Amino acid sequence: MQAVGTLSSRKTRPVYHRTDRTRRSARSEQKKTDYGAQRCRNSFLKTVFTPIAPKVVIRNWGGIDYNYMTGENYEYLVKSAKRYASLLGVELIHNPGHSTGEGISNIYDELDNIIGEINLNIEPSEEKLQFVLWKYHQWSDYTFFWLPVKFVETLNPKLKKITISFVHQFMHSNGMITTDEAFDVEWILEWAMDGLEECDPEDKEKNFKIIDSYKSGKVHRLMERIDTKCYHKNLAITLNNYIPNNEFEKELIELFKEGLQFIGKDKPSIMSYGYDPLYDEERDYHPVDMERMIRVVYDLDDFVTEWMMDWANNELREAYDISPATWMILSPDTTELFSMDMYPDKFFKWFDKICTLIG
């Protein structure tokens, strides 16, 4: 992966941006031995259970109070753990302890000890608790994968329609958004407009044109066109039939052909890998989610994109990014072992190549 410096030190157009910070996220600082209690979703699971089962009540998003420390939840976790152990061909020896809380703590540790390098959470799902297995895919910390589409404006009409069709299908297949839909861009444009009076006359005129372009001008129209238009439904045939005019077009078409593996209803969306193992309903700072880490942008060099990066980087100082992970919920009826496909890994390798070409 190509490393990119901070905004102030960047002299060449980046494929993507990596923050220049030494402090790593909470997920990166912890080692495997910390994946248990410290990484669970609820504070009551981060404490040592007392000999007498405590009454633990968690308020869910619907405003309903649930007591998760119940015999039913304990039995469900035990059955789920033993079921998964049987699939591993391992006999899980369980110590029920002296209380429901101690039993839940024990069954967590016992399952965690036999699953190897996979991470384990206990998480609430309405009124019950469930085990979740999860593991991160390879992806550089704090790296933005932003696809700049300004280059589309330089293409010949035929290739322009092919490119718009490809980006349209790629974007929607993977749950990505454009800057037209991004809440941070909306706020940035408002702040920029309010600050125009403080700019030098030359910068004021330049920034006003950029703001207007994002709000209703050519940037907005290009994003809207990419979001709504698909001129070629069968991209495979269209790409095979196109005769490149130069080396750049040849490389672009070949990368589009390679990128077809990430398009289609039978393919997973990259956003479906956006699992948050550190989720906390009462946290002070929200993480930067994958919708902000992976999106379609117009240009990597205008002030709107720079402010988007700065905003996200500032949030990452207090929180963390949501990184692609494969996750699996266990139940007493689980029929298969945890396994990771390579979709995110292939996705980011291809994304890096396409951005390198068009950047």
**What's the pLDDT at 50?**
36
Among residues 21, 20, 46, 27, which one has the least CA distance to residue 282? 46
Among residues 274, 262, 295, 344, which one has the least CA distance to residue 176? 295
**What's the pLDDT at 127?**
81
**What totals of helices (H) and strands (E) does the chain contain, helices first?**
12, 8
Least confident of 84-88, 147-151, 345-349, 355-359: 355-359
**What's the pLDDT at 286?**
84
Does residue 87 surpass a pLDDT of 60?
yes
Tens-digit pLDDT profile for residues 152-210? 999 999 999 999 999 999 999 999 999 999 999 999 999 888 877 777 777 778 888 99
The CA–CA distances, whole Å, from 268 to 115, 168, 175, 310 equal 25, 16, 10, 30
Among residues 147, 144, 115, 149, which one has the least CA distance to residue 132? 115
Share of the chain above pLDDT 90, in %: 60
Among residues 320, 308, 315, which one has the least CA distance to residue 276? 320
